[in-house]
Structure 1
Amino acid sequence: MVVAAAQKMSTISVVLLALMLWGRQTLAEEDVAEEKTGKGLSMSQSCFCNDTIFRFSEKPLNGDKDIRLSTFRYKDRREEKQKYHELNALQEEFANDLAILAFPCNQFGKQEPGGTDMEVLNGIRYVRPGDNFQPKMKLFKKIDVNGDKEHPLFSYLKSCCPSTREYFEEATKLYYTTIRINDIRWNFEKFLVNRQGVPVMRYDAMARVTDMRAAIEQLVLVKP
């Protein structure tokens, strides 16, 4: 999940933080989501926050040196199974303006069991989605996004953006305590952050890239 080193230029990147896990949404889960749309499920929610993500620093996979998220404030214009591929395609499509930052987590059905950085990478490459998949996004260390030990970055993101749905998955599929109303509900929830580092939209785990493209294009067109 390679993102080129940022350059201090006038062009500022849009950031998409994606909760990336091994889990794959099944057809049954898609059916449930379709049934619940309009009954407490929204594919996206607007965010309201006066702070930015740029005060956070995180460790990348296979690395011990923190990367400040403000690194992704600038992008160099000289660079040119489904959700992984969609996010790869999205990163490639907006290579000059979008940085996708992925945070593995094992709190949903224990679908990210990798104990080391290499196990996480190999799981993505050989298991889900497999077929020697090469992620284009920037992967960070595995963290908790909910519960008593949730990471401050996601505490901040959730404080800015209401949840996209009212309901939770079955308690047997959730591996954390304490449960809160604004928790991440499942794998592949995403937050869209503008050029200034402020979250502007939260997307449900069921949301497809097509659901996000218009908002991303709008942010990309806004001059820094």
Structure 2
Amino acid sequence: MSSATSFYDFKPLDKKGAEVPLADYAGKVVLIVNVASKCGFTPQYAGLEKVYKDIREKHGEDFVVLGFPCNQFGGQEPGSDEEIQSFCQLNYGVSFPVLKKVDVNGDGAAPLYQWLKEQQPGLMGLKRVKWNFEKFLIGKDGKVKGRWASTTKPESLEKAILEELAK
């Protein structure tokens, strides 16, 4: 989808394979995270859920976290979409949307991830996602406002998210 000019042009699939028009999130701040259930960073689900709930408590539905399971890093997300949903709910009480499993790198990378990496390259201009739990922040205008490495704790992004919400 090289014709995409904004985040809102994409329609990734939910856990059941139905399109999720990102245009539904127009005017909202969105945190995109590639997630995995068997990764050293998996406990970040708890931090993501805390940030999601805390900010939504004050800002309502103006903020959303979207999780994209990915099995490209050490085979750390081998489960089916149903198993992934169950894991997230049972172990971390995840209430934010966790969509269908995708690839984030390579020829089969989801169009959304191709666009995200093009808009906000990583360190030294590298475009590929380096590992699970890499984060992209989308502003109310549908543009990428930031990209953070897997090692960045979700709680440390609260200030950047609140700044975008205040715009």
- In structure 2, how many angstroms separate the alpha carbons of the residues matched to 1:220 and 1:208? 19
Q: Which of 116, 119, 128 is the aligned partner of 1:183?
A: 128
Q: 1:203 to 1:112 in 2, by over 3 A?
A: same
Q: Which residue of 1 aligns with 2:95?
A: 136
- TM-score norm. by structure 2 comes to 0.80
- TM-score norm. by structure 1 comes to 0.61
Deviations 1:78-122 (A, max 9, x none): xxx6311110011101112211011000000100001x3212123
Q: Which of 104, 117, 121 is the aligned partner of 2:69?
A: 104
Q: Does 1:124 align with 2:88?
A: yes
Q: Does 1:52 align with 2:13?
A: no
1:6-17 alignment to 2 at 5 Å? none
Q: Does 1:71 align with 2:24?
A: yes
Q: Which residue of 2 aligns with 1:208?
A: 153
Q: Which residue of 2 aligns with 1:82?
A: 43
Q: Greater Rg, structure 1 or structure 2? A: 1
Q: Which residue of 1 aligns with 2:111?
A: 152
CA apart distance, 1:136 = 1.7
- In structure 1, how many angstroms separate the alpha carbons of the residues matched to 2:81 and 2:45? 18
CA apart distance, 1:183 = 0.6
Letter in 2 for 1:54: Y
Q: Is the 8 A contact 2:103 2:109 kept in 1?
A: yes
Q: Which residue of 2 aligns with 1:3?
A: none
CA apart distance, 1:208 = 1.2
Higher helix share: 2
Letter in 1 for 2:133: F
Look up the SS of the partner of 2:52 in the other structure.
helix
Q: 1:101 to 1:71 in 2, by over 3 A?
A: same
Q: Is the 8 A contact 2:51 2:155 kept in 1?
A: no
- In structure 2, how many angstroms separate the alpha carbons of the residues matched to 1:65 and 1:147? 23
- In structure 1, how many angstroms separate the alpha carbons of the residues matched to 2:63 and 2:89? 23
Letter in 2 for 1:68: P
Unmatched 5+ stretches in structure 2? 29-41
Deviations 1:11-68 (A, max 9, x none): xxxxxxxxxxxxxxxxxxxxxxxxxxxxxxxxxxxxxxx931100001111x232110
Q: Is the 8 A contact 1:103 1:139 kept in 2?
A: yes
Tell me how many residue pairs correspond in the alignment: 147
